[in-house]
Amino acid sequence: MAGFLFHETVFGPVMSRRLGVSLGVNLLPVDYKYCTFNCIYCECGWTHKKPANNTGLPGRGTVRKLLEKKLAILQKEGKIPDAITFAGNGEPTIHPEFPEIIDDTIRLRNKYFPEVNITVLSNASTLHHEKVFKALMQIDNNIQKLDAGTEDTFQRINRPSGKLSLDRLTEMLCSFNGKLIIQSLFLRGTDNGSVIDNSSEEEVTAWILRLKKIKPEYVMIYPIDRPTPEQNIEKISFEELNRIAARVNEAGIRTKVFG
């Protein structure tokens, strides 16, 4: 079973297949996955109930101090990252101080590395919170997840908590008026004995229709890269991903494919 966790609040820089040299910020516990989704492919493993002895969320002041310390070291060493990326052990925007932490990060970025992009990797589940939405509108790379075109596949792949539907998620993504990047992971395999495949003709067609409504800056298309909690999943080939990308390009939306 997968279970790759980030054991620091500020980590790296690391080499990201999508973002280049990335300084990571994990606003979640360093010993526990904390997320609003329970994706069958998540490298952090399954989302479980919070353990009694978990470390909890880092406070705004702690994040600010750790980030500034790391940025100062990188500046002194002459090492310029490509991005400061909020990712980590689950969904970063569920941190109650997320908007204020973004404000702090913008100030620190402007002080140390004005040319560096601030990136957030999100599953779009908290966009109904006005402060979260406004914070995401301030950053350089607002990257939101869309892994399915139909409701059934969305529920089976992403397993959102609560009653979040794919239509509601799409509606919230449309609220950015194009100021976002979509990230989509493709897979096929079996889930509880039944076939699951978001690369099928039906799924890709439905997914593209949603992209045309959302009108993102571009779409990141990629396969699984690490072991997954659901064992019966296969990696989609680079060639097949490129065929999917070609259809998106034909719809007038730019793509970047990562193998």
pLDDT at 6: 84
pLDDT at 51: 65
- Phi (first) and psi of residue 221, to 5 degrees: -115, 125
**100-130 residue pLDDT tens:** 999 999 999 999 999 999 999 999 999 999 9
Q: Which domains does the chain have, with CATH numbers?
A: 10-257 (3.20.20.70)
Q: Which two tokens stand for residue 193?
A: 């004995």
**Looking only at Cα atoms, what is the longest distance across the chain?**
54
Q: What value, to the nearest 5°, has the Cα angle with vertex 153 and ends 149 and 158?
A: 100
Alpha helix locations (H) across 90-194?
Answer: 98-112, 130-138, 151-158, 166-174
Q: Which residues of the chain have pLDDT under 50?
A: 1
pLDDT at 1: 45
Cβ-count burial 181-219 (b if 16+ within 10 Å, e if not): bbbbbbbbbebeeeebbbbbeebbebbbebbeebbbeeb
pLDDT at 53: 65
- Number of residues that this document lists for the chain: 259
pLDDT at 244: 98
Q: Which amino acid is at 81?
A: P
Asked whether 118 and 139 are in contact (CB, 8 A), the reply is yes
Interhelix angle 98-112/130-138, rounded to 10 degrees, is 10
Please give the radius of gyration of the chain, using alpha carbons only, rounded to the nearest integer.
18
Q: Which two tokens stand for residue 207?
A: 């997914």
What SS3 state is found at 175?
coil
pLDDT at 227: 86
pLDDT at 132: 98
What are residue 142's DSSP bridge partners?
120
Cβ atoms within 10 A of the Cβ of 51, count?
A: 10
What are residue 219's DSSP bridge partners?
182, 255
Q: Which amino acid is at 114?
A: P
What is the pTM (predicted TM-score) of this model?
0.94
